[in-house]
């Protein structure tokens, strides 16, 4: 953990190169569009994948997110951080898909991302924890999951998350606390306990 | 420390992105409370795991796909070429024009009715019956107004006949000819299907067409 304060972190000023790339995109520059996608595709895919727990769906939603972003770039206020705005669009796309999925019978089992290589015991423990966290996350409410991932995975501040999810900061805080609590309870119920030494 | 306070402090430290397992107060309580100790042990490593996900192993490059789809999307949303002159495409100009046309229609009606202040207005022209139409004299709307019974001077009578026939012609277009005239024009009009007042806009436009025909 970085020790960075999540609640008091101000909205970061937008890097000039991002503003420049966005302006070039608005002018129709294809190279700038490619640069924008390449720069953020990992983060967008990461959020989509953890939201949806399905690689193919996550790729589709990441793609959909960038198409929407490029189409609505003029609506982005360049006084505000770009990443929360981008991730909010990705999160909303994912929640829409999840809502559609809930109306259909579930056909895609949640498969944790297991690398096709051998790894030692420590790696195996880490991998087991990652798989269990994936499964635990899939069980919590979509809004909680999105807020939780934006805070812990993408390290956005509460203020940025509240703004991008268009809800009060206190609500975001509550969602993240509940997500943590539910996730910890799930891991406890699965017997996933990390042995730590306590300074007693 | 009670268990509720432990929970609150744990959440606070996580909010501040600090390591709860290094906090002495939490550790003291965890040493005496097996449940909270389990919670503290469980969360250790959990958030590092989640943070590590931020570098996701995306196996495909989305750039080409996105650019192709973005190009297709922008092509499909490009503005349509309109038959109407550019100043007519502005909805405010369109409404003002319609209002002016409606005002002209009202003035024309007022003017027509003022020609015979003591005389009742002629009846609304009825549709000609097929058996009353004389061969070689197709029944135009101007033939339907019995203006000959009014006591006008020659000049006033001519003006009244002229205005009356124009009015009748306009009414004729509004009620009967609009399907032919207005729909041809409206077929080129860039009207959105989901526009809530599209229907009333169409009706007003029809009135304007009638007024233009009259003038």
Interface membership of A42 toward B (CB under 8 Å): yes
A136-169: buried (b, 16+ CB within 10 Å) or exposed (e) per residue? Answer: bbbebebbbbbbbbbbbbbbbbbbbbbbbbeeee
- Report how far apart, in Å, the C-alpha atoms of B194 and of each of B90, B93, B183, B197, B198 are: 18, 21, 18, 9, 8
Which candidate from A67, A154, A192 shows the least CB-CB separation from B69? A67
Contact A151, B50 (CB under 8 A): no
Is A76 in CB contact (< 8 Å) with chain B? Answer: no
Q: What is the mean pLDDT of chain A?
A: 80
- Residue B43, chain A, CB below 8 Å: the answer is yes
CB contact under 8 A, A37 and B66: yes
Count of residues making up chain A: 200
Beta-carbon contacts below 8 Å between A and B:
144
From B7, B41, B53, residue closest to A194, measured CB to CB: B41
Contact: A71, B57; criterion CB under 8 Å? no
Q: Give pLDDT tens digits for B153-194.
A: 666 667 767 777 777 766 666 666 555 555 555 555 444 444
Distance CA A198, CA B8 (A): 19
Q: What is the ipTM of this complex?
A: 0.73
Concatenated DSSP letters of A127-141: HHHHHHHHHHHHTS-
Whether the CB of A94 is below 8 Å from some CB of chain B: the reply is no
Q: Is the CB of A59 less than 8 angstroms away from the CB of B37?
A: no
User: Cβ separation of B39 and A177 shorter than 8 Å?
Assistant: no
For residue A21, give the DSSP letter: H
Give the list of residues 6+ apart from residue A114 with CB closer than 8 angstroms, or none: A127, A131
Condensed to tens digits (0 to 9), the pLDDT of residues B41-99 reads 888 878 878 877 765 677 777 888 888 887 777 666 655 555 555 555 566 777 877 88
Q: Residues B116-143: pLDDT tens digits?
A: 545 555 555 555 555 555 555 555 455 5
d(Cα A53, Cα A33) in Å, to the nearest integer?
A: 27
Q: Sort out which chain B residues have CB atoms less than 8 A from A43's CB and list them.
A: 54, 56
CA distance B93 to chain A (A): 27
For residue B115, give the nearest of B158, B168, B79 by alpha carbon.
Answer: B158
Write out chain A residues lying below 8 Å of B9, CB-based: none
pLDDT in tens, B29-45: 999 998 888 888 888 87
Nearest CA to CA, how far is A165 from chain B (Å)? 18
Contact B50/A at CB under 8 A = yes
């Amino acid at each position: 953990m970085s020790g960075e304060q999540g609640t008091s972190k101000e909205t970061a000023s937008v890097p000039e190169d991002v503003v420049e790339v966005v302006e070039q995109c608005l002018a129709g520059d294809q190279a700038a569009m490619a640069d924008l996608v390449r720069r953020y595709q990992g983060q967008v895919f990461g959020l989509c994948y953890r939201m949806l727990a399905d690689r193919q769906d996550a790729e589709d939603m990441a793609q959909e997110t960038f198409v929407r972003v490029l189409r609505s770039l003029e609506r982005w206020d360049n006084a505000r951080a770009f990443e929360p705005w981008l991730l909010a669009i990705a999160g909303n796309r994912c929640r829409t898909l999840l809502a559609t999925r809930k109306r259909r019978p579930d056909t895609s089992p949640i498969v944790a991302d297991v690398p096709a290589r051998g790894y030692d015991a420590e790696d195996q423990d880490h991998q087991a924890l990652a798989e269990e966290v994936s499964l635990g996350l899939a069980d919590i409410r979509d809004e909680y999951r999105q807020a939780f991932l934006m805070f812990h995975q993408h390290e956005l501040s509460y203020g940025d998350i509240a703004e991008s999810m268009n809800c009060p900061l206190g609500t975001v805080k509550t969602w993240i606390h509940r997500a943590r609590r539910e996730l910890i309870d799930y891991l406890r119920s699965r017997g996933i306990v990390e042995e730590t030494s306590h300074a007693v | 420390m009670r268990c509720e306070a432990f929970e609150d402090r744990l959440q606070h430290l996580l909010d501040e992105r600090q390591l709860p397992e290094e906090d002495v107060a939490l550790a003291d309580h965890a040493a005496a409370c097996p449940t909270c100790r389990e919670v503290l042990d469980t969360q250790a490593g959990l958030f590092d795991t989640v943070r590590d996900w931020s570098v996701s192993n995306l196996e495909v490059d989305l750039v080409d796909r996105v650019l192709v789809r973005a190009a297709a999307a922008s092509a499909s949303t490009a503005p349509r070429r309109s038959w109407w002159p550019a100043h007519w495409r502005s909805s405010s100009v369109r409404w003002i024009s319609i209002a002016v046309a409606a005002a002209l229609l009202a003035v024309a009606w007022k003017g027509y009715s003022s020609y015979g202040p003591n005389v009742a207005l002629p009846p609304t022209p009825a549709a000609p019956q097929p058996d009353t139409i004389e061969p070689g004299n197709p029944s135009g709307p101007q033939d339907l107004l019995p203006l000959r019974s009014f006591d006008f001077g020659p000049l006033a009578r001519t003006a009244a006949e002229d205005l009356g026939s124009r009015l009748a012609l306009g009414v004729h277009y509004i009620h009967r000819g609009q399907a032919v005239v207005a729909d041809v024009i409206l077929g080129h009009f860039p009207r959105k299907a989901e526009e809530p007042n599209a229907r009333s806009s169409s009706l007003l436009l029809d009135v304007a067409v009638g007024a233009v025909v009259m003038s």
